[in-house]
Structure 1
Amino acid sequence: MEIKVIGADKLEKKLKDLASMEKVKNAVRLNGSELQQGAMQYAPVKTGNLKQSIRLQIRDSGMEAAVHPTADYAEYVEFGTRFMEAQPYLLPAFEVQLPIFRADLKRALED
């Protein structure tokens, strides 16, 4: 009796690709969470509403993380107005997180 498996190498490659995609999704989720925490840390606090309104959404089956405040005045704080200086909190958090995300993503794709 002989058993022959056809396409085992294709299956193995597919399983490795799926494992890599799961590592990428984990990196996206982790870095999205860290970006959210960083934005909350940088957010100026008067009442705490802006800080507490910063949300994380995982989209596109885990391939995208969106961090955004829901407070209706959030843009004015980030960019300022003609009456108020900008108090950036999202951009500084993003600038800190970006190189960390790139390194995590590179590591996930190399494994």
Structure 2
Amino acid sequence: MDIDASDFNKLATSFTQAAANIGPGAQAVVRKTTLDVERDAKSFVPVDTGNLKSSIGHSDLRTVGQSGVLEAEVGPTAEYGVYVEFGTSRKGPAAFMGPALDRQTPVFTQAMEQLAERTANGGT
């Protein structure tokens, strides 16, 4: 049986190129989604004094663990943000973070699917 090693070399090169392309692409998608969720949360939050709205921000993008999971946090730093989002026994919720995330989830999913498809097809 003869095996042509050039096909294995081409496959290995293809995997190496895909790995080099998907990381930066995924970072770009996560970064854009982070900014979009922040923008939407600021547009959805109820405003009284403006303190809660101005406290909504995001963390830097970071890689978690050895698996290369990308992570960023978006939310308010004002202590009472959780009470506005989920409500209290005296006042109902005025969700702003949940709807912002809900609005961006399909966009994020589509962007990641497109990235995977481009990478699988040898694009960048």
Please state if 1:65 is matched with 2:68.
no
List runs of 5+ in structure 2 lacking aligned partners. 1-7, 119-124
Name the TM-score, length of structure 1 as normaliser: 0.85
Identify which range, 11-20 or 48-57, moves more after superposition: 11-20
| In structure 1, distance between residues paired with 2:82 and 2:13 | 48
Aligned to 1:56: 58
The ranges of structure 1 where at least 4 consecutive aligned residues each deviate by more than 4 angstroms after the TM superposition are none
Identify which range, 15-24 or 33-42, moves more after superposition: 15-24
Aligned to 2:90: 83
Name the TM-score, length of structure 2 as normaliser: 0.77
- Write out per-residue CA displacement over residues 61-95 of structure 1, whole angstroms, 9 at most, x where no aligned residue: 78112111100100000011011111000011111
> How far did residue 100 of structure 1 move?
0.6
> How far did residue 17 of structure 1 move?
1.2
* Alignment root-mean-square deviation, CA: 1.8
> What is the aligned residue count?
105
